[in-house]
Amino acid sequence: MLRHSFSGSPGRAALPVYRRKRTMRDSSLSSSSRLGGAVISDRIVGALLEELRTGRYAQTDRLPAEVDLAAELSVSRTVIRDALSEMERAGYIERVRGIGTVVNRSVLNLRSRLDQKLEYYPLIRSFGSYPHADGIQIYPVRAGEELARDLAIEPGDDVICIKKRILADTTPVIYSIDYLPRALFGSRDYTRIDLSGDIFDVLERECRQQVASNVAHLKASCGDESIRAAMRLAPGEAMLLLDEICYNRLCHPVMRSLSYYTNFFDFSILRKLL
C-alpha cells in the first residue's frame, strides 16, 4: 500500500499554499480544452498531471482551490470537479476537508501500474527504450469450451489469434497473444486488415469497440518452449503472465489477452483503502 507523505512542520494541519505567478490561460493547456462532456475532463486531467510532474505544480504539495483552477483553465467548476474526482480515483490526489487537494507524489511518479491500462509502446518508452514488434502471426482458430466461455461465444465459433513479440530496443520484453471473436469484423476479410498495431487501436478502428474494463489474473509462468525461445529466457527464468478478459462499454467481452512480461519491468499496484 502506498502511503501519503505530507510536508510541513509536525503538528500543523495546513500545508503551504502555492502562489502562482501566471494563469494557465497563458499556456498551451487551455488551447485545446474547450470541448465538452467527458472529453474535456480527460484533457484537464492530462494537463494537470503534466503540470504536477514537470510544470508549475512540480514542487507543490497541493493544488489550488477548484474555483482558481476553473478560472486558470477557463472551464466550469463542474469540469474541474469531475477531473479531480478522476485523479482521486487514480490515487494522484486526495481531497481532504479543511486542508484542500493534496498531491501524492509517490503515486504520481509511478511508471508501470498494473491497476491502470497498460499499452506496450508507451510503457516501454517510459523506460527510455524504443518499442517495436516482430514475429507477428495472425491466424484463425476454433473456440474451445474455455475460450468460448471467456468471450461469450459458442464453442466452435471462429476466433482470430494474434501473436507478437515486443522488444525494447533489441531486448525481447513482452510476448503477446490476443484472441478476438471473428464476428467483430463482420463480413470483412480480416486478412486485408492491418492487425499488427496496438490491439486497443485495432478494436476501436476496425471493430468500433472501446475497451472500458478488464478482469486480469496474474501468475508466474515459464511459458512453453516456443515462447521461451522467442524471449531468450535463461534456464529457470520465469515471466509474469497477465491473463485478461477485456470488456466494452456494454460489459460484453471483446478480447482474451495473454501477456508475458520479463523482468525488464518493475510493476506496481495502487490499493486505495478509503
DSSP string, 11-64: T--SPPPP--SS-GGGSGGGTT----HHHHHHHHHHHHHHHHHHSTTTT-SEEP
**pTM exceeding the 0.85 threshold for the entire prediction:** no
Distance (Å, whole) CA 50 – CA 92: 12
* Maximum CA extent, the chain: 68
Q: Do strands 62-63 and 171-181 pair parallel, antiparallel, or not at all (unpaired)?
A: unpaired
Query: Looking at residue 38, what is its pLDDT?
Result: 57
Distance (Å, whole) CA 271 – CA 258: 23
Distance (Å, whole) CA 87 – CA 79: 12
Give the torsion sign (CA, 68, 73, 79, 85): negative
Distance (Å, whole) CA 243 – CA 234: 23
Query: Looking at residue 39, what is its pLDDT?
Result: 75
Query: Looking at residue 114, what is its pLDDT?
Result: 87
**What's the average pLDDT block by block, 10 residues per block, for the chain (274 residues)?**
38 39 41 50 92 93 94 91 95 94 94 85 92 96 98 98 97 98 96 92 95 94 96 96 96 98 92 85
